[in-house]
Structure 1
Amino acid sequence: MEQKSVAPALTRGLTILEIIAREGAIGFNELKEKMNLHATTVNRLIKVLIDKEYLAKDQNSKYTLGIKFLNLSNQETFWNKIIQKLHNSMKEINEKYGITVLLTSLDKDKATVIYKIIESSNLGMLEVGNTHYDLMNFPWGILYIAEQEKEKQEELIEKSYADPSRNMNVVDRKDIDKLIVEADLEKHVDDKGWFFNGRRFAVPVFLSNGKLIGALCSGSNKENLKDISIEDVINDMKKAVEGLDL
């Protein structure tokens, strides 16, 4: 019998988190049985926890702990560990191709530059700590948009088109859709140089449960592209993030 609580919904929500933290990924029916609650009640609790990113669904449609546990109180430590794992690969890409390499976080409809290895003679790109919300105008933002439901995609695209601070070229909507399809199918984005006088690339960084948390990004001035294999750049970026084991 469930012990009485002054905040029963909070208690139930915490119990769900404790079960998943202790036992790992779990399906809805199994969780409902362990909670001994009506399906409607469990579903309502789960929805709140997912909306607040305390829970997430993995590729098997089971519930796991969400990104909030990773970036709530120890966000700096979490990203520092990723930086340590990626630094050598980012440096190798920087030196091999003579391009700037960025690591960005993607969360709550915004992108923030976490780490950067610059190539001063080429495209400098954004500064560490820079946060932007006009996601459509950046290949790493396209990766984020591609992960959203259709209605949310439309919202983010319209927000970018309407952003008064935007200084990128206006790209035709059908071309934006092509980039979203590329992000979804190929797990990378090459912005083709459509947005300004430079060309940028991005590959996603996922948690082990399939949650997108960031992107590894690079870019080049157009005049430098004749000496660079774009396919090789993207492949090296993908290899860099494949072994992160998050």
Structure 2
Amino acid sequence: MNSDNQQNKYILQSVENALSIIDLLCEHEELGVSEIGKLLNVGKSTAFRLLTTLQSKNYVYKDENSKYRLSPKFLSIGDIVSNRMEIINKVHPFLVQLANYSSETSHLGIWYSKTEVTFIDKVTGKNSIRMSSMIGSNKIAHSTSLGKSLLAFSDEATIDYYLNNAEYKLNTDKSIKNKEDLRSNLIKIQADGYAVDDEEAEIGLVCFAAPVLVRGKAIAAISVSGPSSRMNPRKDELTDMVKKIADEIGSSIV
């Protein structure tokens, strides 16, 4: 089986059709249900259900002439993609520097939602081990050093919301168990200027992270990760380095 056939067997027709509607509305300023059905070669009722689904998620809207258009949501999506690409381009050389210095894996992360962070860049060092982090993957913030450093340097309203709404899942016996423990951890991070994931997400994995501050606001965080046997003996050295590089990144963005 060639690669095209292999890929095609995993494609969901309804999702493909919905995305095709978005493509059509990029080409045409507005279209009606019948027009979309004809262009997609699907029945009017099918086109209507697809459009209703897209409308419910605010990807399209219906104007006064019952024509469908792309919604302003795509403006915010474009901004998100643009901002992520911009910060990746600016930070990547610093991640390379951190990975080369430590010989371990460095990461860049930002907020994905009010309780999750997402990894948007990663550089592996010469001694890097295999770990579960993937570019684009999302994790509960306090289960990562990246997320904890972002959270610790957020405003009080953001911290309060997180403490009361996050899921306190126990990945290991070292995981943070409740909001009281997390609050104490955040106070320490604020004092130290860095966060530690001490085998809280994976047994044997230790991560050190620091926030990237721009005008006092944490816009991202960087981390260095590796096995506890190598990371813990170098804790002071590596936390100093990750803080130094995070400060350099923040200064370069201002």
Provide the TM-score with structure 1 as the length reference: 0.58
1:58-137 equivalence runs, <5 A: 72-109=77-114, 110-119=116-125, 121-125=127-131, 126-132=133-139, 134-137=140-143
Residues 82/185 of structure 1: CA separation in 2 closer, same or farther (3 Å cut): same
Provide structure 2 residue ranges, at least 5 long, that are not aligned to the other structure.
1-72
Q: Which of the two has higher C-alpha Rg?
A: 2
1:213 alignment partner, one of 215, 219, 225 = 219
Structure 1 residue 145 and structure 2 residue 151: aligned? yes
Residue 205 of structure 1 aligns to which amino acid in structure 2? V
Q: Find the aligned partners of 2:200 and 2:113 in 1 and give their Cα distance.
A: 26
Q: Find the aligned partners of 1:244 and 1:71 in 2 and give their Cα distance.
A: 25
CA contact (8 A) 1:106 1:212 kept: no
Q: Which moved more, 1:181-190 or 1:216-225?
A: 181-190
CA contact (8 A) 1:82 1:244 kept: no
Q: Find the aligned partners of 1:221 and 1:85 in 2 and give their Cα distance.
A: 28
CA contact (8 A) 1:111 1:141 kept: yes
Q: Runs in 1 of length 4+ with deviation above 6 angstroms?
A: none
Residue 199 of structure 1 aligns to which amino acid in structure 2? V
Q: Which moved more, 1:71-80 or 1:218-227?
A: 71-80
CA displacement, residues 212-233 of structure 1 (integer Å, 9 cap, x when unaligned): 3321122121111335623333
1:199 alignment partner, one of 197, 206, 218 = 206
**RCO comparison, higher one (Cα < 8 Å, 6+):** 1
Identity across matched positions, percent? 16
The Cα shift of 1:80 comes to 1.9
1:155 alignment partner, one of 164, 172, 197 = 164
Q: Find the aligned partners of 2:195 and 2:234 in 1 and give their Cα distance.
A: 20
Residue 234 of structure 1 aligns to which amino acid in structure 2? V
Alpha-carbon RMSD across the aligned residues, in angstroms, is 2.9
Provide structure 1 residue ranges, at least 5 long, that are not aligned to the other structure.
1-67
Matched residues, number:
171
The Cα shift of 1:81 comes to 2.0
